[in-house]
């Protein structure tokens, strides 16, 4: 009897535990797997509103803001050049750009200038010698920076000397004359950097010259108009910004009996630029 009661009790316990185990097994199968929150920071979490036994939909991922593109760093600044050594022309060591100095700027061309010259001349044919001293101031005008022209006046002093042979025939030892006239000149700077120039003049002078009378025995002085073309070359030396000194050697194309200058003619000239 006791054995029968034990068997019945065990069978009832087994029947009581079977529904609970079955319920626990179904609950495990139908419970959804928990989802991780992948929403960006600040977004509201979505609740699982799906009914039991169904798969919960994945939450829609909110678009995130596009990160700012980083601005590249500026290139490194080149290292400064070493300081220049001071020189006599730039004690501070600073050098101005080429062409910016006042001395490098093109100088303005002064159109008008005073041009006066002092001349010497000598000539001899054996019986008559001729020494000439001249002074001729002029006003020059620069047509270009190389070519100049201008008018002027001329004065010359001439000394004629006679040989011993002529003196025995009644000629004096010497005779002098004073000559006054006008001229025009032209000058071209051939090598401006060096100072070499070409020079030409044309003079018309009322000159005195020695002559003999009608008998041919008495020496007298006559007046006549003498035309004298001169041409040659010279050298110029600057004495400052506005002054210069010239020396020129000119050939006298009037080498006749009425010549008042001799051959050749050496001129010493002074030039001064006017405002």
CA-CA distance, 112 to 268, in Å (whole number)?
Answer: 20
- Per residue of the chain (275 residues), give pLDDT as tens: 555 556 555 655 555 555 544 444 444 444 455 555 555 555 555 555 556 665 555 555 555 566 666 776 766 666 565 565 666 655 555 565 655 565 555 566 778 999 998 888 888 877 888 888 889 999 999 999 899 999 999 998 988 888 888 888 778 888 888 889 999 999 999 998 899 999 999 999 998 877 777 666 667 777 888 888 999 999 999 998 889 999 999 998 887 667 777 788 888 999 999 87
Other Cβ atoms less than 10 A from the Cβ of 84: the count is 11
What is the second-level CATH architecture of the domain 112-273? Beta Barrel (2.40)
Q: Write down the domain spans for the chain.
A: 112-273
Which one, of 206, 272, 202, lies nearest residue 236 by Cα?
272
CA dihedral of residues 161, 164, 166, 170 (deg, nearest 10): 100
Q: What is the pLDDT of residue 22?
A: 47
Q: What is the pLDDT of residue 28?
A: 45
């Amino acid at each position: 009897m006791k054995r029968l009661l034990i068997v019945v009790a065990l069978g009832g316990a087994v029947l009581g535990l079977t529904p609970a185990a079955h319920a626990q097994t179904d609950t495990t199968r139908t419970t959804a797997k928990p989802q991780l929150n992948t929403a960006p920071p600040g977004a509201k979490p979505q609740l699982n509103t799906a009914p039991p036994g169904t798969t919960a939909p994945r939450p829609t991922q909110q678009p995130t803001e596009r990160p700012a593109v980083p601005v590249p760093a500026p290139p490194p600044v080149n290292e400064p050049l070493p300081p220049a050594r001071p020189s006599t022309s730039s004690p501070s060591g600073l050098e101005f750009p080429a062409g910016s100095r006042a001395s490098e700027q093109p100088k303005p061309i002064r159109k008008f200038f005073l041009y006066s010259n002092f001349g010497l001349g000598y000539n001899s044919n054996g019986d008559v010698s001729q020494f000439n001293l001249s002074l001729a101031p002029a006003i020059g005008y620069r047509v270009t920076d190389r070519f100049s022209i201008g008018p002027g006046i001329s004065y010359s002093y001439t000394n004629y000397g006679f040989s011993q042979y002529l003196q025995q025939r009644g000629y004096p030892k010497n005779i002098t004359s004073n000559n006054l006239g006008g001229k025009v000149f032209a000058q071209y700077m051939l090598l401006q950097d060096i100072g070499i120039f070409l020079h030409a003049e044309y003079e018309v002078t009322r000159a005195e010259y020695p002559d003999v009378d009608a008998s041919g025995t008495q020496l007298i002085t006559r007046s006549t108009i003498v035309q004298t073309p001169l041409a040659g070359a010279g050298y110029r030396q600057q004495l400052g910004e506005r002054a210069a000194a010239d020396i020129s050697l000119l050939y006298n194309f009037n080498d006749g009996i009425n010549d008042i200058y001799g051959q050749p003619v050496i001129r010493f000239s002074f030039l001064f630029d006017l405002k």
